[in-house]
Amino acid sequence: MRGLAKVVGVHTFATLSKCGVVMMILLCAACTKPAPIVQSNEVFPGDLASVNRELTSAESQRVLNAMASTRSQKDIDNTRPLQTSSVGRWSDVYQAAVIGSRKVEMAVVAQFVQPDGLRFTILTLNNDQGELVVKGDSAQGVLSASATLGLFGERTKSAQMLVDSFYSQLHELGAIARPSQAPPIAAATE
């Protein structure tokens, strides 16, 4: 048994001495003053591809030329001034017919282009058919509008309501500022 106690005692002393060495290292490491955090940060050079970079006039011109090469029309940014129309634009006729007919509980079911204007086939809630004829063109605008409803054109009151609603919508759409109807811009030449 004595031999066993000797082994246990030596083993305990060796373990304690190792633990003591580890404790002393930790104590020394804990007592040293650390370097400031700011000193440990790595400093990087400035961003060379910043989005806030101001272009020189030569670089700016190169960018403008590159953008201009992708378009086929000259002065596309400055095309035409926005204008309103008190009598209505020809480009608004279809939309005015569709919206105007809805307001009086009718629907546009077809549109036909004629030499002197447009003809719209109308369907009412009673399943009566009729037509709205708009005379004019893009150069002159809307000259006149007339409607006939019913098998023999007998629904004159409803037809007049359709025409009035059409003109009302044409006037409302004309109040929206849009580009003037000018001839197309000529293609750019270099």
What residues form DSSP beta bridges with 130? 122, 149
- Residue 138's contacts (CB-CB under 8 Å, 6 or more residues apart) are 90, 91, 181
Domain assignment present for residue 25? The answer is no
What one-character DSSP code corresponds to residue 50?
Answer: -
Report the interhelical angle of 93-103 vs 156-174 (nearest 10°).
Answer: 130
Query: Which pLDDT score is estimated for 111?
Result: 93
Query: Which pLDDT score is estimated for 187?
Result: 46
Reading the block at residue 176, the tokens are 């929206």
Domain assignment present for residue 115? The answer is yes
The answer to whether residue 186 scores a pLDDT higher than 50 is no
The CATH number of whichever domain residue 90 belongs to comes to 3.30.310
**pLDDT tens-digit readout, 46-78:** 655 555 678 888 888 888 877 776 665 555 555
Domain assignment present for residue 40? The answer is no
Domain assignment present for residue 2? The answer is no
Query: Which pLDDT score is estimated for 188?
Result: 45
Domain assignment present for residue 49? The answer is no
% of the chain beyond a pLDDT of 70? 67
Domain count, the chain: 1
Domain assignment present for residue 190? The answer is no
**pLDDT tens-digit readout, 20-36:** 777 877 777 666 676 66
Query: Which pLDDT score is estimated for 38?
Result: 63
Domain assignment present for residue 72? The answer is no
Domain assignment present for residue 74? The answer is no
Query: Which domain range does residue 123 map to?
Result: 82-179
